[in-house]
Amino acid sequence: MALSNSDHDVIIIGSGAAGLTAAISLADHCRVLVLAKGNLTGGSTAWAQGGIAAVLDAGDTFENHIEDTMVAGAGLNRRETVECVVENAPHAIERLIQMGVPFNMEKGALHLTREGGHSHRRIVHVDDATGWAVQAALLKTAEEHPNITLLPGQACIDLITGRHEERYSGSGRVWGVYALDEATGQVHAHVGRATILASGGAGRVYQFSTAPRGATGDGIAMAWRAGARVSNMEMMQFHPTCLYNLEVKNFLITEAVRGEGGILKHPVTGHRYMPDYDPRAELAPRDVVARANDDQIKRYGLDYVHLDISDRDPAFVAGHFPNIHEKLLTLGIDMTTGPIPVVPAQHYTCGGVLIDLAGRTDLPGLYAAGECTESGLHGANRLASNSLLECFVFGEAAARDIVARWDELDAPPAIRPWDESRVTDSDEEVVIKQNWTEIRRFMWNYVGIVRTTKRLERAQHRINMLTHEIEDYYGHFRVTTDLIELRNLLQCAELIVRSALHRKESRGLHYTLDYPDMLPEAVDTVLVP
């Protein structure tokens, strides 16, 4: 029997930058519940090394930042979204400073760094661990507000819609979410007038990813099952430089290392190969650099390529990248004197649940912000350091819209408890583990940086087989976090492959050998449930 909880007005799924920004913006108006899977700092925000892009320099303009974002996104961006986010960036930085984020300063002004794809220095940062400082400041502000309840250890299963009302309704209106309390094993119905998805991306669909372990696309899969459209799921960003180390998974070497003079070399010959691929060399956008690294690895049968910044002054390198430098030293790599072995890895989900400028999805009462969305900001490829920015702008926009519409948002009706009368405990956890590994491996091999129709069809075939298996399993056994994640992972894999098969061109992050040219018109891939 599930417990129903309607002590809150707004339910927020996710405790990263988007979720906490929304919660803090709402808290003076209503009671907010923030649900986190695992611990409160388990999302991607804490992992963001680079920083936040904003026009703060006298020589820079909004127009420049808009243009850079549009160029990186290969024209698939929605211009009004890009304008809205870029113009709100300085305000977002100001709010973070007020919350106590200790951004690096130089001569009394914010220190700005530069990253690939940017025409100017416009990245504010806290050393090379910006995300951690932002996460800490947001959490502290949220914890101090009496109207915000933070609840870790909640694995969300499905959105509560009209179908779950005691008086059944096919309206598609969202009233909150069913979530598994990981400590007790009970499923609770968390009910509110409005729900905000801020659940992050689907990076763990891939074998190599810089995303945290919990990035299993839960919000995207739940919104899709509830009837919301998703868009541009084929646009998966691969970061060109993830540390190659068999013991340490998913440690990212920030873009800023290349921004400050790091060069990519063939590990055997020492040849600097990026100028062979693009005149911008190491400062080309991520998709170009990731494909070049992937090409070198596949062409020469390498395990990794080298990223080398050792010709810069050692004190400069250690001072600029203290966390990376320290971490590498523990693994026996000194970046001040020699190269770093790196490989491309999945990094960011540019597609997701379709939203408008107020963060509204297709479903009444459901909003979304951050990496689980397709807002029109990133288009076919995300510009570096625009991701945290998107979280702040849309977290705030969703909160603003909820407050403005408060009188139209009805109080929730009686909701049916979660039904687990027909299920038993599973004795086959090994099946989940096996399926999980299988998905991640074939997605990496067939739906990775370079695609072909044949590879995509192979992936699709495997997804179809697994779907029957997992649905059967899900119907019979009590839910666990692993089973919930597996179901969502597979759903996201299916959406990625469907979207990729639909796009008959190469654009931005979607690169297929069968259609290497870009079509004259940029069109979103929109899937309708």
Domains and CATH numbers, the chain: 3-47+129-234+350-408 (3.50.50.60), 239-346 (3.90.700.10), 429-516 (1.20.58.100)
Give the pLDDT confidence score for residue 293 in this predicted structure.
Answer: 95
Cβ–Cβ < 8 Å for 317, 329: no
Which is catalytic among the residues 173, 204, 258, 286? 286
Give the pLDDT confidence score for residue 266 in this predicted structure.
Answer: 98
Give the pLDDT confidence score for residue 2 in this predicted structure.
Answer: 43
Residues whose CB is less than 8 angstroms from the CB of residue 350 and which lie 6 or more positions away in sequence, other chains included? 232, 235, 236, 237, 374, 378, 379, 380, 381, 382, 508, 509
Does the annotation mark 79 as catalytic?
A: no
Percent of the chain exceeding pLDDT 70 equals 98
- Which residue numbers in the chain have pLDDT < 70? 1-6, 249, 422, 426-428
- Phi and psi torsions of 356, nearest 5°: -100, -170
Cβ–Cβ < 8 Å for 427, 487: no
CA pair distance 254, 239, nearest whole angstrom? 9
Give the pLDDT confidence score for residue 181 in this predicted structure.
Answer: 96
Give the pLDDT confidence score for residue 6 in this predicted structure.
Answer: 64
- Phi and psi torsions of 168, nearest 5°: -45, 135
- The CA–CA distances, whole Å, from 112 to 57, 88, 115, 255, 283 equal 8, 18, 10, 14, 17
Give the pLDDT confidence score for residue 245 in this predicted structure.
Answer: 87
Give the pLDDT confidence score for residue 1 in this predicted structure.
Answer: 34
What is the token pair recorded at 115? 């990253």
CA pair distance 174, 116, nearest whole angstrom? 40
Cβ–Cβ < 8 Å for 197, 355: no
Q: How many Cα neighbours within 13 Å face the side chain of 309?
A: 27
Cβ–Cβ < 8 Å for 378, 68: no
Give the pLDDT confidence score for residue 129 in this predicted structure.
Answer: 85
Give the pLDDT confidence score for residue 212 in this predicted structure.
Answer: 87
